[in-house]
Structure formats: C-alpha cells, structure tokens
Amino acid sequence: MDQFILFGDSITQQAFSQDTPPRHREPSGFFGPALADAYARKLDIINRGLSGYNTRQALQVLPQVVPTLQQARVRFLTIFFGANDARLPNTYPDPQQHVPLEEFRSNLKAIVSHPCLLEHKDIRIILITPPPVHERTALNADRIREPNREPVLRRTAAATATYAQAVRELGDEMNLPVLDLWSAMMDRAGYHDNGVDDRLVPGSVANADDHANAVLESFLHDGLHFTRAAYRVLYDGMMDLIQENWPDQTPDALPFVLPRWDDQEAWKEARGSVL
C-alpha cells in the first residue's frame, strides 16, 4: 500500500498514545488511530514522530524517514515541527532545542524541497503549524515534575505564534496546503487575531482571560502536549484539508487495495494469479 507518513516531533509521536494524561479520563491518542481507521486497507499510516526533534535534526534524518521508490510509494507526508524550535534559547535543561526563526523557515523549505521527497512525483505535502502554548499549565507541570527547582518558562505563547506564522508564510510561498492548528485551537479559545501581544494571546501568563485559558488547558495537558480533545481538532482539520485540496484522496473516495472477501468477480479474475 502507498504510505501516509506523519513526520514531526513528540506531538506526532504521541498521536497513537494510549496513556491517560493526569486529570483526564481517557487516553490522549486519537489522531493516529482515527487516521489509520479511516484509511484502513487503502493507505498505510506511518508514524515518524521523533520526540524532542527540531527542524535542524529533522532535515538531517529526513532521508532515513522517507522510503525510496524501490521501498514504497509515499502518497501523503505531514510536516509538523516548530514546538521545539520555538523553545527559548538558554533555558534549562541542556541540550538546547531552540532554532532561530529564520533558520526554522529555511529548514522547513529545505525539507519540502529535498530530493528524497521530489523522487515521489505525486507526493502530497501538508505543513502543520505548531500549536499554541499554555504557559500556566507548563509552569505547574514543571513544579510537579521538579518540586525543588523554580520553574522557568521554556516556551511562550507569543514566541510560538511567530513560528506558526512562518509556516503559514512558507505555505503561501511554496503553494503548499497548511493545516493551521494554531488558529484552530485559538479560535476555540476565543482569540481571532494572529498577533503576538502577550497581553492578548490566550495561554500567556500576562493574559488574565481565565475562560480562554481554560479552553487551551483542556487541549494541552502539560502546556505543550495534546489531550484527546486536541488530537480530535487535528484530525478534523486534516480531514477538512484533504477534502478541500484533494477530494479524490479522501477515505471514502479511495478503493480498497485488495478486493473485498465477497467480490466474486475479482476473485474469479485473480484465480491462478497473484492479486
């Protein structure tokens, strides 16, 4: 079967997770299983989420992530980085993950134009913006994890917003569809501006809007990683994007790779041959 590769950091890696985050009732993993179920017997969903990776590392390992044409054909590739690139420089602990904004943009551009991708002539590349950050929840998670250390913000809502904007701009420049997850979550939090004012961005400690913060808290169990509700937003956004850009590639539009068990004509034609 052709492959649908999910390439990203820990948020992608955990897309199939059956762990239940603290204070939640159900496992977080929804996006991966839902996508695999939707494309069952049509495309293979391949999880290439690499926890902790930034775009500098992603670019380096890309040829090991994408199969050659002799190994498999890639139908879809999602590129979902930025949460680690946007980590503030010189923050605890080492090693540092921060990648400056312009290098982040350059790395993404190098990834989408890499020869190992261009080898797959009909590959459909989907850029995904980094999601918002919930600063209060991140600080609380650090207090629980390391009670003897004063927590310090490693990621901020405003800084991450600039990396999301860079993904949008690259999508426009290279004519690639962008799943704007940052805006999808912020819309649900009652925020409809792509600006980066700390006083206005939900999730910032400078923002006193508790209602908006509560919405993001329901998405980000440690201020960064997803709950089931957040993965559902990602899945719904992915299905809408595919329907809009490639309606012939939606799950309902694709045939089974192997015939149904009761397709008598198919089995009659296949008798004595390899399907």
Active site residue 10: yes
How far apart CA 269 and CA 275 sit, in angstroms, is 9
Please tell me the distance from the alpha carbon of residue 203 to that of residue 210, in angstroms, as a whole number.
Answer: 9
In the block, tokens 């299905």 appear at 239
Whether the Cβ atoms of residue 227 and residue 221 lie closer than 8 Å to each other: yes
> Which residue, 258, 31, 60, 25, is CA-closest to 128?
31
Sheet holding 178-179, edge to edge: 44-49, 3-8, 74-80, 124-128, 178-179
Do residues 32 and 247 lie in contact, with contact meaning Cβ atoms separated by under 8 Å?
no
Q: Pick the catalytic residue from 10, 183, 204, 218.
A: 10
User: Tokens 């999508």 label which residue?
Assistant: 171
Distance CA 235, CA 200 (A): 27
Q: How far is CA 105 from CA 73, 166, 262, in A?
A: 27, 6, 50
15 secondary structure, DSSP code? G
Whether 52 contacts 21, CB under 8 Å: no
54 DSSP 8-state letter: -
What is the distance, to the nearest Å, from the Cα of residue 85 to the centroid of all Cα atoms in its chain?
14
Catalytic residues: 10
